[in-house]
Amino acid sequence: MNRRIAFRNARLIDPASGLDVKGGLLVENGRIADIGPRLFNDADPSDPEIINCHGLVLAPGLIDCRVFTGEPGAEHRESLESASAAAAAGGVTSMIVMPNTDPVIDEPSLVDFLMRRAAATAKVRVLPTAALTRGLLGETMTEIGMLQEAGAVAFTDGDRTVANARVLRRALSYASTFNALVIAHAEDPELVLNTSATEGEFATRLGLPSSPSMAESLIVERDIRLVELTGARYHFGQISTRASLEAIAAAKARGLPITCGVSANHLSLNELDVGAYYTFRKLSPPLRSEADRAAMAEGVASGLIDVIVSSHEPQGADTKRQPFASAAAGAVGLETLLPAALAVMHDGRASLMHLLGALTTAPARIFGLPTGTLAKGAPADLVLIDTDEPFVVDAEKLHSRARNTAFEGRKFSGRAQKTFVGGECVFDRAR
Amino acid sequence: MTSLNTAPILKSKHLLGIEGLSPFDITALLDLAETYVTQGRASDKKTALLKGRTLINLFFESSTRTQSSFELAGKRLGADVMNMSVKTSSVSKGETLIDTASTLNAMRPDILVVRHQDAGAAELLSRKLDCSVINAGDGAHEHPTQALLDALTIRRRLGGFEGLVVAICGDVLHSRVARSNLRLLSMMGARVRLVAPKTLLPADAERFGVEIHTDMKSGLAGADIVMMLRLQLERMSGAFVPSAREYFRFYGLDRAKLAMAKPGALVMHPGPMNRGVEIASDIADDVVVSLISEQVEMGVAIRMAILDALSRGMS
């Protein structure tokens, strides 16, 4: 079988090589076989299936580095299948899923289970992370070597911080033995205990229990010291404050193997968006001041923030229709990741090439993936993007099972039109 | 049969560590031990070299082979041997150790063999007692008689140390055996490698002039001797290593990993072994590659040689 698909009349953007030209791309057997400005320009190729891109952007499929699903254990909120449908609709071709499930992904057999379930049910690639500590309890390290062999791409306690510095030190030291990537969640667990907002005037007016934003940078600074001691590859899953960014900038300048991400939520919203106790905007970490939000946009533009993530976290009415302080944190985001990133371009803060890099090439580099590029021979994970199509976010039209978007009613310009994984079309907005 | 030469061998009246010994001291001890290997294989294993001398085994940590090895060595040389096992729980560190030392000193022993969980304990006792002190293991510091018996075993099999590649694998961080062995073997001209996950490697170990490896493949490549270390049970459940099965998978010596070493490479282990954790049973029991039983035999001989050597300076 030699299945060929020809994309013609596209604006090809490959952040891996800096390519931005009009041209064509040929897919053969699920891989990119050819690419170039003159490909399919003059004459239509005779045999392949032809997709006329009408000048839209054809880019590598997005890699979302921070996705929570409910499988296993809470499939009523989100399964791998439903999350993957949302991913495909958002132009996301690879989801890196967090181990915060029931049971926790802390055993090689569970990594294997997750990969088999994904292969059987998911439309996009699912790359499992495994817990850094058993049961996410922050007490004893997991079998990092065997979990890595089973297919875990990184090690993390997901939305939990390893509070004990001795445990983290040894886990990092052990992880570095296997050159394993560790992903951190930076929130001092004691400072943020039972709080739901960022300490400041707004939280005071609303009367919400709150934690200082330094609860994040405190852990960022601690972890940087531990990385310096152990040499582990370290990725801050999502940061949200200027102080964290400054600490990471200094660490990067010292040559430490540290990278970081920001969620589309923290890039687009600030604490005022909580408005009248709007629980769909209760997040972990909580939304920050406008100054911190602006710092995140600057960080993305300067490249100090390596990746933009959705931090997709499905919740149901049971966990969200609660008073703000009692409601669960988190918002779905697979379908709004690309539009939120494009908003930074429309604001004139960063180029399309740069933003797509933070969604494709940078995650591929951090996680050591063969995707995130339009290079010949790479898997044909592609997204066709209309960067200007205006639309209003409507929770009812989301593809994910959970509908707790933080962007309900938000006007965006630009979103995915078609999505391909290994050359297979997994989403077509026209259909 | 005793050694005919009674010239002094060691400058010090104590044996506290490999550090402080010279290559000449070590060679002399190994040469002397050869005569005791012969004596140990004879039907009459006993001499009267230490007749009338008192040897006290003072063990603050439980031990089977080191304690019985010293007991046998002392008895074969005609000394009176007393074993004192001290329950760790009743000892409240320094103060009691000094008190114990004064009590023992009053009994006028000639040689005290001491094992203690704290580094420096043997050194401390040597300053408080009038007799010779032999360190049978102090914390993660030194276990010189183990390194000497390992050296004797290696020299008898391979003829010497110059240029030998010795891979010391496993829990180096907590191991006094590793520290004594790397000192001795480096001093004698062997190329020593330490092979362990980073959680089990001590800081700045490369300053000892050894190669550091974190995977068995590169660590064992071309090794003449593979020396496995014991991993304590309490250290394999998440604090330093996630589990025994993961440890065995990546650092346990099995046929596949041994095949990465030089063809004909020999395997050593100070004992007691954790089968299926740091070493596979079929390797531990393979008399062609395993020197483990031979190490025990050499243990008695080298301890007889040490007792002989220390007694030469006694009045």
Domain residue limits, chain A: 62-367
The reported pLDDT for the residue numbered B3 is: 47
Which one of A109, A173, A233 makes the best mutation probe of the B interface by having the most chain B beta carbons within 10 Å? Answer: A173
Q: What is the radius of gyration, based on Cα positions, of chain B?
A: 19
B198/A174 CB distance under 8 A: yes
Residues of B in contact with A144 (CB under 8 A): 242, 246
The reported pLDDT for the residue numbered B2 is: 47
Mean pLDDT of A312-339: 95
* Among chain B residues, CA nearest to A137: B238
CA distances A211 to A159, A204, A207, Å, are 16, 11, 12
Scan residues 235-264 of B and list those with Cβ closer than 8 Å to A: 237-243, 245-246, 249-250
ipTM, two decimals, is: 0.90
A77: its two tokens: 């909120």
Is B206 an 8 Å CB contact of chain A?
no
The reported pLDDT for the residue numbered B315 is: 73
A176/B237 CB distance under 8 A: no
Asked whether the CA dihedral A324, A72, A134, A146 is positive or negative, the reply is negative
A174: left (phi over 0), alpha (psi -120 to 50) or beta: alpha
Scan residues 174-203 of B and list those with Cβ closer than 8 Å to A: 197-199
B199/A177 CB distance under 8 A: yes
Which one, of A133, A168, A174, A226, lies nearest residue B199 by Cα? A174
B139 vs chain A: nearest CA distance in angstroms?
21
A143/B238 CB distance under 8 A: no
d(C-alpha A323, C-alpha A319), whole Å:
10
Q: Which among A142, A146, A170 has CB closest to B239?
A: A170
Residue A149 contacts by C-beta under 8 Å, 6 or more apart in sequence? A108
Residues of B in contact with A139 (CB under 8 A): 238
Task: Extract the residue ranges of chain B whose pLDDT is less than 70.
Answer: 1-5, 87-95
> pLDDT tens, B287-311?
999 999 999 999 999 999 999 999 9
Is B163 an 8 Å CB contact of chain A?
no
Residues of A in contact with B214 (CB under 8 A): 177
* Among chain B residues, CA nearest to A147: B246
* Among chain B residues, CA nearest to A146: B246
Q: Is the pLDDT of residue A142 over 60?
A: yes
Strand-strand pairing, B54-59 and B111-116: parallel
d(C-alpha A399, C-alpha A389), whole Å:
19
Is the CB of residue A252 less than 8 Å from the CB of residue A304?
yes
The reported pLDDT for the residue numbered B232 is: 84
The reported pLDDT for the residue numbered A43 is: 61
The reported pLDDT for the residue numbered B87 is: 63
Tell me if residue A70 falls in helix, strand or coil.
Answer: coil
A134/B241 CB distance under 8 A: no
Mean pLDDT of A339-367: 97
> pLDDT tens, B234-272?
787 778 999 999 999 999 999 999 999 999 999 999 989
Mean pLDDT of A365-375: 98
B197/A174 CB distance under 8 A: yes
B242/A144 CB distance under 8 A: yes
Q: Is the pLDDT of residue A294 over 80?
A: yes
Tell me if residue A23 falls in helix, strand or coil.
Answer: strand
Which one, of A9, A41, A6, lies nearest residue A25 by Cα? A6
The neighbour count for residue B203, using CB atoms within 10 Å, is 8
A46-60, A276-290, B84-98: which has the minimum mean pLDDT?
B84-98
> pLDDT tens, A4-27?
999 999 999 999 999 999 999 999
The reported pLDDT for the residue numbered B1 is: 44
Q: What is the radius of gyration, based on Cα positions, of chain A?
A: 21
Residues of A with CB under 8 A from a CB of B: 134, 139-146, 170, 173-174, 176-177, 230-231
B246/A176 CB distance under 8 A: no
Q: Is the pLDDT of residue A234 over 90?
A: yes
Mean pLDDT for chain B?
92
Q: Which pLDDT band holds residue A326 (cuts at 50, 70, 90)?
A: very high
Q: Is the pLDDT of residue A1 over 90?
A: no
Mean pLDDT for chain A?
96
Is the CB of residue A336 less than 8 Å from the CB of residue A264?
yes
Q: How many contacts does A have with B, using Cβ atoms within 8 A?
A: 43
B199/A134 CB distance under 8 A: no
B196 vs chain A: nearest CA distance in angstroms?
9
Residues of A in contact with B197 (CB under 8 A): 173-174, 177
Taking the mean position of all CA atoms in its chain, how far away is CA A65?
A: 4
- Report the CATH fold assignment for A62-367: TIM Barrel (3.20.20)
Mean pLDDT of A302-325: 95
